[in-house]
């Protein structure tokens, strides 16, 4: 299920988009910032700090007064939430038995109770060392999420799955932006192989931090080549393609090519099948290790919305940028 969520949505709470946990009533045992860490939660036997057992998540102390604990996550970009992943892995005798989630849209760093919070889940029954997905129905874009836990305890991770909803009216006529950027609604749809790194990393902000912060396939031992299909945030005309192989030195692709289309439909698998016959935007081109490649000699395909990145025969790419103008 969780791999499927990554193919359909973006985690709006990920720190590389600028998201952060801006408030918690209590994070005595485990720092609130860990709640949205992109890494999978871990348990380290024998590791303690000054306050007790070190836990990979957000954990409050045992409550000895009436009430409950809660925290606020400010999303780095506004988005429409499809559902929440609540992860209590490694929290066994210290997980909260109940939770509720609210959302709002606000310009405040930490919105108050009068910010128009909307409860989007019922009271959830949680289990220890568990991981659940809670779909929600809320069509308006939001900027903040408030997680209530009853009465106290620890949650390893909170993922806010949804779609970025950028304001393209703020983009000037003829202004060039990265139409594939995660912050502008770009996303990875499907790849034939994500053994060492997920396709969603291609759209992330900045340059890759290391080889794990890119899309990398296994070593191909059979004929053919690897590929990934991605969706731009909106229709646009591409003026420049950037293929960044940062940190990929002995494992970068020898060559790459791009195909593109204005339309695609169906499941990720159906879109992948359609992509095989899309017209060529960038013909097969040689790549270098650990290098930013900039290509401006591109086919004029008009406005596009989808691209297929082909790499030959396999390897890793850190980032893919499609710079161009919004097609009004």
Q: What is the DSSP letter of 32?
A: G
Report whether pLDDT(7) > 90: no
Note the pLDDT tens digit of each residue in 30-41. 999 999 999 999
- How many CB atoms lie under 10 A from the CB of residue 64? 7
Coil vs helix vs strand at 226: strand
Residue 274's pLDDT is 98
What is d(CA 94, CA 81) in angstroms, rounded to the nearest whole number? Answer: 28
Q: What is the pTM of this model?
A: 0.94
d(CA 180, CA 192): 19
pLDDT at residue 328 greater than cutoff 90? no
Closest CA to 289 of 320, 247, 257: 247
Classify 80 as helix, strand or coil: strand
Residue 176 has pLDDT above 90, yes or no: yes
Number of H-type helices and E-type strands within the chain = 2, 23
**Residue 226 pLDDT class (50, 70, 90 cuts):** very high
Break the chain down into helix, strand, coil percent, rounded to 5.
10, 40, 50
143 has a pLDDT exceeding 90: yes
Q: Is it the case that residue 2 has pLDDT exceeding 90? A: no
What integer is the mean pLDDT of 27-53? 97
pLDDT tens for 237-263 read 999 999 999 999 999 999 999 999 999
pLDDT at 4: 82
């Amino acid at each position: 299920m969780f791999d499927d969520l990554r193919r359909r949505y973006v985690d709006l709470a990920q720190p590389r988009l600028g998201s952060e946990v801006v408030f918690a009533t209590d994070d005595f045992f485990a720092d609130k910032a860990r709640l949205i860490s992109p890494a999978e939660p871990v348990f380290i036997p024998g590791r303690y700090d000054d306050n007790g057992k070190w836990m990979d998540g957000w954990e409050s102390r045992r409550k000895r007064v009436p009430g409950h604990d809660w925290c606020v996550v400010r999303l780095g970009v506004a988005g429409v939430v499809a559902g929440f992943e609540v992860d209590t892995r490694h929290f066994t005798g210290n997980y909260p038995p109940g939770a509720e989630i609210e959302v709002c849209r606000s310009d405040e760093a930490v919105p108050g109770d009068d910010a128009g919070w909307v409860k989007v889940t019922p009271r959830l029954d949680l289990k220890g060392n568990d991981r659940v997905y809670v779909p929600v129905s809320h069509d308006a874009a939001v900027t903040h999420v408030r997680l209530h836990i009853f009465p106290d305890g620890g949650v390893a991770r909170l993922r806010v799955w949804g779609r970025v909803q950028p304001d393209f009216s703020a983009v000037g006529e003829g202004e060039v932006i990265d139409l594939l950027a995660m912050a502008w609604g770009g996303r990875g749809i499907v790849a034939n192989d994500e053994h060492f790194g997920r396709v969603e990393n291609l759209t992330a902000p900045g340059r890759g931090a290391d080889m794990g912060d890119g899309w990398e396939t296994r070593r191909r031992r059979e004929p053919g080549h690897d590929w990934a299909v991605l969706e731009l945030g909106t229709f646009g005309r591409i003026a420049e393609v950037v293929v960044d192989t940062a940190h990929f030195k002995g494992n970068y692709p020898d060559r790459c090519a791009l195909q593109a289309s204005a339309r695609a439909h169906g499941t990720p698998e159906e879109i992948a099948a359609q992509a095989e016959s899309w017209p060529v935007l960038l013909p097969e081109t040689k790549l270098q290790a650990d290098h930013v490649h900039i290509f401006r000699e591109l086919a004029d395909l008009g406005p596009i919305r989808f691209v297929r990145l082909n790499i030959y025969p396999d390897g890793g790419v850190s980032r893919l940028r499609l710079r161009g103008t919004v097609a009004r």
